[in-house]
Amino acid sequence: MKLNVKLFADGADIAGIREMASNSSIAGFTTNPTLMRKAGVSDYKAFAKEVLTIVPDKPVSFEVFADDFPTMELQALEIASWGKNVNVKIPVTNTKGEFCGALVKRLSDAGVQLNVTALMTLDQVQRVTDALNPNTAAIISVFAGRIADTGRDPVPVMAKSVEIMKAKPKSELIWASPRELLNIFQAEEVGCHIITATNDILKKLSLFHKDLNLYSLETVEMFYKDAKAAGFNIAV
C-alpha cells in the first residue's frame, strides 16, 4: 500500500512511541498536554528528551502550555532548542479566544518550526497561513475528527485548507484527530500532507482491503468464543 499522505503517530506512551519508531511507515510523531497527562507524564522536559532519544531523526511536535503569549513565546524558544527535528505546537488561540497570529509571525520569522494546532475553521487556516514566514517550514493541524463530531463533513474543509496553504509552500496540513481508518484515505484523496493517528488506528492498517466475508466470519467466531469463555447459559 503506497500513500502520499505521511502518517504521524499521536500519543505520549513511551512504549507505544518506541513501537511506532521502529515502523518504517511512520514519518513523525505528535503529542499534547492532554495525552501526556493521560500517560502519567509529570516531568515535561525529561519526557521530551526521552522521546527525542527514541526518535532522533523524524519530526516530533511538543506543545507549549502557557496561556499568555509572552510566556508561550519563551516556552516555544526553549522547546525548539531541544532538537532540529522538533516542531513547536502553538494553539490557534489562548483560552480567552485571542488569536495567536502575532506570536506565530514572530516565531516563524525567527526560524522556529511551528505546528499551529486546534484549528477548525477556514478563517483560522487563512489567518495562520498569512502569519507564516514563507521561508520557514511549518505545520497547520486542522482537527477534522472534531469537526466530524459536530455532524459536519470535514472533507470540504480539508480540501479548501490544502488550497489556502499553497500560498506558503513550506507549510504542511495535518488531518488531526481522525476517528477511523477511512480518514487516512480521505486525507490522501484531498491532498493532506500528514495525518496524525493514535496507535489503535494505525494498527488497523493491516485491515486494508481485508476480505469482508472472512472478516464477517472472524466476527462471528469472536462472539461465539467470548460467550463460551464467559460461561453464558440459557436454559431452553
Evaluate whether residue 53 is within a structural domain.
Answer: yes
- Contact criterion met (CB below 8 Å) for 31 and 11: yes
User: Domain residues for 62?
Assistant: 6-208
**CA Rg value for the chain:** 20
CB 7, CB 184: distance < 8 Å: yes
140 strand-pairing partners: 116, 173
Question: How far apart, in whole angstroms, are the C-alpha atoms of residue 56 and residue 204?
Answer: 26
- Whether residue 60 lies inside any domain: the answer is yes
CB atoms within 10 A of CB 151: 6
pLDDT 10s digits, 64-102: 999 999 999 999 999 999 999 999 999 999 999 999 999
Q: Which of 17-31, 41-55, 139-153, 200-214 has the lowest mean pLDDT?
A: 200-214
Q: What percent of the chain has pLDDT over 70?
A: 100
Q: Is residue 203 pLDDT above 90, yes or no?
A: no
pTM, rounded to two decimals: 0.91
Q: How many CB atoms lie within 10 A of CB 205?
A: 15
Residue 104 lies in a domain: yes
Rounded CA gap, 29 and 59, in Å? 6
Q: What average pLDDT does this structure show over 134-162?
A: 98
Q: What is the CATH number of the domain that holds 74?
A: 3.20.20.70
In a domain, 222, yes or no: no
- pLDDT value for 1: 66
**Structural domain includes residue 96:** yes
Question: b/e string for 46-84 if b means 16 or more Cβ within 10 A?
Answer: ebbeebbebbeebbbbbbbeeeebeebbebbeebbebbe
Residue 198: predicted pLDDT: 82
pLDDT of 205-225, one tens digit each?
888 889 999 999 999 999 999
The pLDDT value recorded for residue 15 is 94
**What is the total count of domains within the chain?**
1
Among candidate residues 58, 89, 160, 166, the one labeled active-site is: 89
Cell 505546528: give the residue: 115
At 199, is the pLDDT very low, low, confident or very high (cuts 50, 70, 90)? Answer: confident
Q: Mean pLDDT score of the chain, rounded to an integer?
A: 96
Tell me, yes or no, if 89 is annotated catalytic. yes
Checking if the pLDDT of 108 tops 80, the result is yes
Let me know if residue 59 belongs to a domain: yes
Q: Give yes or no for a contact between 80 and 113, defined as CB atoms under 8 angstroms apart.
A: yes
Within-domain flag for 118: yes
Is 224 inside a domain boundary? no
* CA nearest to 119, candidates 105, 106, 102, 101: 101
